[in-house]
Amino acid sequence: MENSITKNLNSSEKAFFQLHKVKRVVNLEKIGQLKQDIENRQTSLFESSVEMSKIVHKAYKWFKTAESKDARKEHGIELTLAEFGEKGFGYSRSQFNKLKTMGENIEDSSKNWKKEYNDRVKSEREAGENPQLSIEGFNSFVRSEKATGGNSPLAQTRSTSNTKNVFTCTAQANFIEGLTRNFAIRITPNGEVKTSNTQQELQKVVKFIKEAMKSEAQRIAQAELTATETE
């Protein structure tokens, strides 16, 4: 029985994707079933996307190999990477690239980005936000963390609820002395404070912010003094 992917392939393409060396990385039946699970929400949408991203990343790496090039040439198959993603997975170029990037990050041995991302989302939810686990959110989170080297302990969160906040921030535990778990807080327009953290944890974060602001004020003052002396 054909699935939504195989029915759009011509006979040569079907034969190509049934080759053992190709099925090792692009198993159309498995991909079709996983996509069906995602559409029917049989499993968590995010978790299913994680599994799909691993397959996409593996397929992407194989497509770049000499084995892939030789197999396509041998069977008279001319496929660009975009066409490979569309015919093998049924994804547009944009969708394929997002999953490929996610797969690269998931398999990055330097850090457990999936856990880091889940922890951040959990922290923001505890603060009353409503962020959703998503491919775009995951890739954006990893990109931001890599760009800053993970050295930005405070990050403004974006509310996806209808209620706008006048103040929202999170803090990662490993950057603040004495803080053993992530910190998250938001203040609504009516002054209501939303947080699951304790008063003691709040005090540690406030102390951290005060010291950081004092250090920055001293730096600015010194820079202004230096500028005045050189005039």
Same domain flag for 29 and 68: yes
**Predicted pLDDT of residue 165:** 64
CA dist 42 to 12, 38, 49, Å?
A: 33, 6, 12
- Domain limits for position 207: 113-229
Burial class (CB in 10 A: 0-12, 13-18, 19+), 209: middle
Same domain flag for 96 and 137: no
- Whether residue 30 lies inside any domain: the answer is yes
Boundary-marking domain end, from 54, 74, 106 = 106
- Whether residue 216 lies inside any domain: the answer is yes
d(CA 89, CA 85): 5
pLDDT digits (tens, 9 = 90+) for 116-142: 888 888 888 877 777 788 898 899 888
Same domain flag for 61 and 159: no
Same domain flag for 10 and 77: yes
Boundary-marking domain end, from 106, 134, 169 = 106
- Whether residue 33 lies inside any domain: the answer is yes
CB 65 within 8 A of CB 51: no
Would you give the end-to-end CA distance of the chain in angstroms? Answer: 81
Same domain flag for 136 and 117: yes
- Whether residue 127 lies inside any domain: the answer is yes
For residues 147-166, average pLDDT: 52
- Whether residue 164 lies inside any domain: the answer is yes
- Provide the sign of the torsion angle of the four alpha carbons 218, 220, 222, 224, taken in this order: negative
Q: Range with the lowest mean pLDDT among 9-18, 69-78, 102-111, 157-166?
A: 157-166
Same domain flag for 75 and 136: no
- Whether residue 1 lies inside any domain: the answer is no
Tokens of 151: 């050295």
Boundary-marking domain end, from 75, 106, 137 = 106
Same domain flag for 183 and 96: no
Same domain flag for 97 and 119: no
Whether 150 shows a pLDDT value over 70: the answer reads no
Instruction: Give the helix ranges, DSSP H, for the chain.
Output: 11-17, 20-23, 28-39, 45-63, 66-74, 81-89, 93-106, 113-126, 135-148, 199-229
- Whether residue 75 lies inside any domain: the answer is yes
How many structural domains is the chain composed of?
A: 2
d(CA 56, CA 62): 10
For residues 216-228, average pLDDT: 79
Strands 167-171 and 154-155: antiparallel
Same domain flag for 129 and 214: yes
Nearest CA among 131, 128, 124 for reference residue 171: 124
Whether 3 shows a pLDDT value over 60: the answer reads no
- Whether residue 213 lies inside any domain: the answer is yes
pLDDT digits (tens, 9 = 90+) for 39-55: 776 567 888 889 999 99
**Predicted pLDDT of residue 219:** 82
- The number of C-alpha atoms within 13 Å of 44 and in the hemisphere containing its C-beta is 8
0.75 surpassed by pTM: no
**Predicted pLDDT of residue 155:** 42
Same domain flag for 34 and 119: no
Same domain flag for 97 and 136: no
d(CA 29, CA 41): 18
Same domain flag for 145 and 221: yes
H or E stretch at 187: strand 183-187
Tokens of 105: 């990050």
